[in-house]
Amino acid sequence: KAGVTQTPRYLIKTRGQQVTLSCSPISGHRSVSWYQQTPGQGLQFLFEYFSETQRNKGNFPGRFSGRQFSNSRSEMNVSTLELGDSALYLCASSLAGSWTEAFFGQGTRLTVV
Amino acid sequence: TQLLEQSPQFLSIQEGENLTVYCNSSSVFSSLQWYRQEPGEGPVLLVTVVTGGEVKKLKRLTFQFGDARKDSSLHITAAQPGDTGLYLCAGAWSGTASKLTFGTGTRLQVTL
């Protein structure tokens, strides 16, 4: 079956702009999590959704937001982009939200210039 | 705040050598996972351990979960260039099972 699909793969934005990233989980998976990966900080948890409800949120400013749709697809939005937002954004899905197994997409590489 | 310490950060070895990567926390995990990540790709799950003292093998990779469920190790026997990559441990704790906390990673390079 198809894995986790993230679009787009690469994105270049200018400071101050906003961006929306998309994630389609594995079919049947109801939980989606988002992570930011940078060389200095590693993988940092952004937020997690289960059945359209945000269950957990990491320590990121309010400029980072997300949502999950009834078909489990998820989007994350970053407003007023800063240079420091340049990173690989990873989405992971899990079958029932217990996160004993997480399946990651290939990520979206965001570059802010 | 639960923290996950992973060591070493970097490892450069020759083909055929053995190596061990460690993952430690001061808190008890409800589950712990190991991933491998290639450049520009997402992490790929290697194994999940949930029971204290558990040992799992995946070909030349051996994963151990500490008896107290606060630490884990990944041992690779006779490393090959194909083992090159970033190895990440990730833990979940009771009460925050919906959130995985990742270690900083071990970057492994295996040369001929």
For residue A58, pLDDT beyond 60: yes
For residue B13, pLDDT beyond 60: yes
Mean pLDDT of A52-80: 95
Lowest mean pLDDT among A75-79, B2-6, B76-80: B2-6
Contacts of A62 (CB under 8 A, 6+ apart): none
In the block, which residue shows the tokens 């270690």?
B103
pLDDT bucket at B97, cuts 50 / 70 / 90: low
Alpha carbons B65 and B73: distance in angstroms, whole number: 7
pLDDT computed for residue B95 by the predictor: 65
Do A95 and A101 meet the contact criterion of CB atoms below 8 Å apart? Answer: yes
For residue B96, pLDDT beyond 70: no
Strands A108-112 and A31-38, sheet pairing: unpaired
- List pLDDT tens digits, range B52-75: 999 999 999 999 999 999 999 999
Q: Taking Cα atoms as reference points, which of B38, B22, B10 lies closest to residue B103?
A: B22
For residue B81, pLDDT beyond 70: yes
- DSSP per-residue letters across B94-112: TT-TT--EE---EEEEEE-
For residue B86, pLDDT beyond 80: yes
A 7-36 residues with CB below 8 A of B? 31, 33, 35
Nearest CB to B98: which of A35, A48, A90?
A48
Q: Taking Cα atoms as reference points, which of B42, B40, B68, B38 lies closest to residue B53?
A: B68
Q: Is A97 at the interface with chain B, CB within 8 A?
A: yes
Residue B97: list chain A partners with CB under 8 A: 98-99
CA–CA min distance A80, chain B (Å): 25
> CA quadruple B89, B48, B40, A107: dihedral positive or negative?
negative
Most confident listed range (A81-90, B27-36, B97-106): A81-90
- Give the residue on B whose Cα is nearest the Cα of A93: B98
Cβ distance of A45 and B101 shorter than 8 Å: yes
In the block, which residue shows the tokens 């998820």?
A74
